[in-house]
Structure 1
Amino acid sequence: MRYQEDLPLVLNQLSCCVRPREKIGIVGRTGSGKSSLGVVLFRLVECCGGSITIDGVDISDIGLADLRSKLSIIPQDPVLFSGTLPLKLDSEVVENGENFSVGERQLLCVARVLLRQCKVLILDEATAAMDSETDALVQETLRSSFQHCTTLTIAHRLHTVLNCHRVMVLNQGQVVEFDEPSKLLANENSRFCSMLAAVENKISVRG
């Protein structure tokens, strides 16, 4: 699959279009379809309707190896396979990477995507298990190293998507809002605005 910079990534099933090199934040309540989007992009399950196209190519028409060679993901709970790093950095990896913390496994995923230089990167709360100092460092690395990469950030913490070009709000598998964060926040009737207000209200009550 060849990446052409003048062609967008299109999610027909969700009726939206993501432009090349765009940074998209994907939010929604539990069960809205955020993680399912990543599942169908990697074709862990096949679409039962609609289509997803990247550079004008329907992802269901190409081989899994070709598709996944252009995609990378940093998951919230990464799994490592035993035996994949023999004598590398003098580290042994046990089954599921259990001898690494979740944060360390996420850092290994970050290193992997930096080496692969993919065209589409999916971040599923990629720094959730890291301390704040490491989180800030990784976020800056991702911003500087993936300027020319289309990035889809599946966010469980709404503040992580405020710097994205656009925010996609999902509800029951449908796109209900898709616009710049500032425009969504300027509309007090927007779903994104109400979601963020609810989060801030919880923080103020706890504080």
Structure 2
Amino acid sequence: MLELSLISVERIRKYSQLPAEAPELVQNCSLSRSWPEQGMVEFKNYSTRYREGLDLVLRNLSFRVLPKQKVGIVGRTGAGKSSLTLALFRIIEAAGGQILIDGEDISQYGLYDVRSKLSIIPQDPVLFAGTVRENLDPFNSHSDQEIWRALEHAHLADVVHAKDEALEFVVMQGGDNFSVGQRQLVCLARALLKRAKVLVLDEATASIDNSTDSIIQESIRKEFKDCTVLTIAHRLNTIIDSDMILVIDGGKVAEYDTPGNLLADKTSLFAHLVEKAYNINSVNS
């Protein structure tokens, strides 16, 4: 028993020695309340790795996303798509280069300043033990009317209205009393409520059914038309109508152009990925 208990002590000691993240706030260096106003995102010769001593997972990435553009991000498994999202939210820090949002180098500011101004709908929806209201508005900064409007646009209002407690309905840890699709719609409602100028979808529709996928895509096209949207794609049909397609291969920018131009070039990696997906779907049909 003593030997087993000492494992806990060992783990606590190890965690206490982990390198800390960057500070949440940087004194005398804060972003304006309205930042970002436009939503322009630029990677300039950006490189990163998961830990010191490991190989780079992103290598000299350089591309620019203009305000209000919708960009689909594709690539083979392990190409570095999700690493790009982690870099944008500074879960992993730069090994070289910069990420600029509206011309501001995000590495110069506190983590809270940066992360609180961006929205994400992740592949695995995150719900906390608490009420529906607390899950959507944890800082209690929105009115009931705004919350119901977000639920309406996320096609969840009827589900919440059906609960006797409505917004006070208690969500179990991990959202176990909601279906997977409903959990993802809660994350969509959370993003709708926040109204950030930059939205990231990290394979948000990979594990849900086609009908819920259609709801999310429709809501994003309608409600985020004035926002910059970066979509990491699992289903290529969800990003085929994007303004631009970014193809990542081996942690580098392989292609960055409009879907029409890339599909017209039969030698492009994107055209190959679309053809492969089409052939797989044809076989499954």
Common topology (TM > 0.5): yes
1:43-71: per-residue Cα shift (whole Å, max 9, x none)?
A: 11212222111011111111111111221
* Aligned equivalent of 1:178: 256
User: 2:284 maps to which residue?
Assistant: 206
Q: Out of 82, 85, 92, which is 1:38 matched to? A: 85
Letter in 2 for 1:134: T
Quick one: which amino acid aligns to residue 257 of structure 2? Answer: D
The residue number in structure 1 matching 2:36 is: 3
Q: Select the residue among 124, 133, 136 that pairs with 1:77.
A: 124
- Which string of whole-angstrom CA distances, capped at 9 and with x for unpartnered residues, describes residues 150-187 of structure 1? 00000011121110000000011101000000000000
Q: Confirm whether residue 50 of structure 1 aligns to residue 128 of structure 2.
A: no
Q: Is the 8 A contact 2:131 2:168 kept in 1?
A: no
SS in 1 for 2:130: coil
60-69 or 114-123: which moved more?
Answer: 60-69
Aligned with 2:282: secondary structure? helix
- The answer to whether residue 228 in structure 2 is matched with residue 150 in structure 1 is yes
Q: What pairs with 1:75-114 in structure 2 (closer than 5 Å)?
A: 75-85=122-132, 89-114=167-192
In the other structure, the counterpart of 1:133 is: 211
CA distance in 2, matches of 1:127, 1:147: 19
Identical amino acids, percent of aligned pairs: 51
**Deviation of 1:74 (Å):** 0.5
Aligned to 2:269: 191
Structure 1: 5+ residue stretches without partners: none
Q: CA deviation at 1:147?
A: 0.8
**CA displacement at 1:84 relative to structure 2:** 5.0
In 1, the alpha carbon distance for the partners of 2:208 and 2:186 equals 12
**Bigger shift: residues 128-137 or 9-18:** 128-137
Runs of at least 4 residues off by over 6 Å: none
Of the candidates 24, 28, 39, which is equivalent to residue 71 of structure 2?
24
Q: Which moved more, 1:33-42 or 1:123-132?
A: 123-132
Contact 2:131 2:167 in 1 (8 A): no
Output the TM-score relative to the length of structure 1.
0.92
Q: Is the 2:131–2:169 Cα contact (8 Å) retained in structure 1? A: no
User: Given residue 203 of structure 1, which amino acid in structure 2 is its aligned partner?
Assistant: N
What SS is found at the alignment partner of 1:99?
Answer: coil
Looking at structure 1, the residues matched to 102 and 284 of structure 2 have their Cα atoms a distance apart, in angstroms, of 46
Quick one: distance in 2 between partners of 1:19 and 1:183? 18
Q: 2:105 & 2:184 partners in 1: Cα distance? A: 30
CA shift digits 1:84-125 (9 cap, x unpaired): 547653422222222222211111111011111101000122
* 2:111 alignment counterpart: 64
Q: Distance in 1 between matches of 2:282 and 2:209?
A: 22
- Structure with the greater relative contact order (CA < 8 A, sep ≥ 6): 1 or 2? 1
Q: CA deviation at 1:142?
A: 1.0
Number of aligned residues? 206
Q: What CA distance in whole angstroms lies between the structure 2 residues aligned with 1:11 and 1:92?
A: 41
Q: Equivalents in 2 of 1:194, 1:123: separation in Å?
A: 23
Give unmatched runs, 5+ long, in structure 2: 1-30, 47-60, 135-164
- Please report the RMSD computed on the Cα atoms of aligned residues, expressed in angstroms: 1.7
Q: Which amino acid aligns with 1:154?
A: I
